[in-house]
Structure 1
Amino acid sequence: MKTTGISTLFFLIVLTATVADAQVGVGAKPAKKAEVLFDGSRAMLDAKWTYWKSPRLSATLPIKWQIVKDPVDKGTVVNTNDPASAGGKYGAADIVTKKEYRDFRLHIEFLIEKPGGNSGVYLQNRYEIQVLDGDSTTHGMAAVINEAAAPYSAYNGTGKWNAYDITFRAARFVNGKRTEQPLVTIYFNGKKIHTNQAISQVWGGPNSGIDGGNDEGKGITDVPGGLKLQAEGHDVLYRNIWIEELDLKKANTDF
């Protein structure tokens, strides 16, 4: 079929509108139906988050993550450098939302202050999207951990804000048996880096998240999970976190 000038123009308008509606990148405002999970305030941190009860948990409430001044822009942010996590003891002081989720659209921004800074964003408190300066492998920056690496070139570097925009579809089950793997699509600083990436298991053992110690991470269960942020004893900051619950009938997370 021959494409006319009018139809081409219409396609470009629709494409532009779709990209604009996606609201991706640093500074993206919450979608209309989204819930703000962190606005920079201590009150919201305490109201919506708690320590995850990992086998290695050694921190006690209230949360010891500090609210600090944004080093780049106005406002305040949270620093993951909990004393209990010193030396890279993930699971010792990780925080998780009190509310649990299945399918969702997530926006989150992070800043790594020093080279080698390490944290992680865990979808459903299971599947890690890596936050690690200096690594572009499947265990490195913006990787779906141990499943798919991301182009390191999309990273803005230390001392600058970065953003993940994620649509996640939870694993599906029939009679308790997993029939469909979880899927994720991710934008990193406005650049699409993973599209409908399947996730096979939880990596990192029982201290990494829900089901991490179940059949070596392969025993995924049919329960929702919170959004978790990892403490590794580094100065990694977070801000502008919001989530919109979805109900994705089809196995498609592309947006």
Structure 2
Amino acid sequence: MKKSILKAVALFPALILGLGMITYVQAQVGVGTKPPKGAEVLFDGSRKMLDEKWTYWEGPRLAATLPIKWTVVKDPTGKGMALNSNDPAGAGGKYGAADIVTKDKFRDFRLHVEFFIPEAGGNSGVYLQNRYEIQVLDGDTTSHGMAAVINETPSPYHAYNGLGKWNAYDIVFRAARFENGKRTEKAMLTMYFNGKKVHTNQTINQVWGGPNSGIDGGNDGGKGITDTPGGIKLQAEGHNVLYRNIWIRELDLKEADTNF
């Protein structure tokens, strides 16, 4: 297929239908993808936006104090700035001690996050609704490894660009549904990793990692999912994992279909 045709296919919007409502989700994916119309930028490389839109997650292990101690640093690959997740309070892998989360909370959404791991074994994580972790972990190809829906899917390690390169997660997420306080439909996502589709309509059973991991982690061993929105969370585990170009677009997905 010619390059021009491939580019057109990548840019063509996917269509999600639900009970008479039509929502367009940009299907453009990969490193450098810009936010589409209607999206909210969550991190643009500035300290100002970090302080305006993020805070520490107040979980049971919180040991950090505001202002956020994550640092804004020069992008190691060129122009612009990035965010370093190596908060002193998270040293030694103490997840939950200095994780940061958006002040805004979300249900259904399209998310784009870019990350850069400079050193072997670099460890962090991207949390959807401050519940469900998409792993960021160099060197691990298991269900606890890179780009896995943690403990729910195998790691699609083949799509990883590797150390010293930017990587991108592009996700459409649909929150769990409830009736009379009981979960009737599990959370679901479709995800591209560096432009390759690696998870399609993947359901998520629970929160893993216990109460220090995220919302509902301490409820019935992580199985007690509640009907509350949550923010986008980034994990501090004492490693120099960098982030940039983070944006989100809220959706309202009536049907259990996240494919894009």
Q: TM-score, normalised by structure 2?
A: 0.92
* Structure number, greater radius of gyration: 1
Runs of 4+ in structure 1 deviating by more than 4 angstroms, as ranges, are 12-16
Choose which of 106, 131, 134 in structure 2 pairs with 1:129: 134
Mark the runs of 5 or more structure 1 residues left unpaired by the alignment: 1-11
The aligned amino acid for 2:135 is Q
Structure 2, gaps ≥5 residues long = 1-6, 15-24
C-alpha change, 1:35 and 1:148, in structure 2 (3 Å) is: same
Structure 1 residue 160: deviation in Å?
A: 0.4
SS for the counterpart of 2:208 is: coil
Partner of 1:203 in structure 2? 208
Alignment correspondent of 1:191 = 196
Q: How far apart, in 1, do the equivalents of 2:41 and 2:111 lie?
A: 10
Q: Match for 2:119: what amino acid?
A: K
Selected match of 2:227 from 214, 222, 225: 222
Cα deviation digits, residues 187-233 of structure 1 (max 9, x gap):
00000000000000000000000000000000000000000000000
Write out aligned runs for 1:101-116 (5 A). Answer: 101-116=106-121
**Equivalent residue runs for 1:87-166 within 5 Å:** 87-166=92-171
Change (3 A) 1:200 1:160: same
Partner-residue secondary structure (3-state), 1:84? helix
Amino acid at match of 1:17: F
1:243 aligned to 2:221?
A: no
In the alignment of these two chains, the number of paired residues is 245
Paired with 1:252 and 1:119, the residues of 2 have a C-alpha distance of 28
How far did 1:153 drift?
1.2
Matched, 1:31 2:36: yes
**Aligned equivalents of 1:79 and 1:179: distance in 2?**
38
**Counterpart of 1:22 in 2: which secondary structure?**
coil
Question: 1:45 maps to what in 2?
Answer: 50
Q: Aligned partners of 1:136, 1:51: CA distance in 2, in Å?
A: 29
The CA RMSD over aligned residues, in Å, is: 1.7
Residue aligning to 1:17: 12
Shift of 1:17: 2.2
